[in-house]
Amino acid sequence: MGKSKSVDGDAPALATSIIDTIRSSKNGKSMELKELRTAVSDDASDDKSSKKLFKQAVKLLEKGEKVTLNADGIVKLSKSERSKVSKSVADGEDEPKSEKKKKKKKEKKRKRESKEDGTESNDDVEENPKKQKQVNPEEREDSEEENTTTIDEESKNDNNNETAAGDSNNNGTADPKDKNKPCKGNPQGITRLFLGNLPFAISEPTLSAHLLDCVTHIKWITDKETGKFYGSAFCEVRNSKDAAKCLSKINGTNLMGRPIKINYAPVRSGEEGDWPPRSRVITGGKVANAGGGQAGGSGIKAMSVKPEGCAKLFLGNLSYDIDDEGITKFFMGVEAEIKSVRWLHHKDSGDFKGCGYADFWNTEACEKAATLNGKNLLGRPIRIDWAE
Task: Write out pLDDT tens, residues 24-71.
Answer: 888 878 888 888 888 877 544 557 788 888 888 888 888 888 888 888
Answer whether residue 240 shows pLDDT above 80. yes
241 or 285: which leads in pLDDT: 241
Instruction: Give the type of residue at 193.
Output: L
Average confidence (pLDDT) over 375-383: 88
Instruction: Give the type of residue at 279.
Output: S
When pLDDT is cut at 50, 70 and 90, the band that residue 195 belongs to is very high
Contact 371, 384 (CB under 8 A): no
Task: Write out pLDDT tens, residues 197-239.
Answer: 988 888 888 888 999 899 998 988 887 666 777 788 999 999 9
Q: What is the pTM of this model?
A: 0.35
Average confidence (pLDDT) over 370-378: 88
134 or 11: which leads in pLDDT: 11
Instruction: Give the helix/strand (H/E) hosting 380.
Output: strand 380-381
Q: Give the residue among 255, 269, 258, 210 at the shortest CA–CA distance from 235.
A: 210
Q: Considering only 11-25, 78-92, 258-272, 296-310, which range has the smallest mean pLDDT? A: 78-92
When pLDDT is cut at 50, 70 and 90, the band that residue 4 belongs to is very low
Separation of first and last alpha carbons in the chain: 104
Q: Considering only 70-74, 86-90, 341-345, 362-366, which range has the smallest mean pLDDT? A: 86-90
Helix spans in the chain (H): 2-23, 33-40, 48-63, 79-91, 97-117, 122-133, 137-170, 176-179, 204-210, 240-245, 324-332, 363-370
Determine what percent of the chain is predicted with pLDDT higher than 90: 22
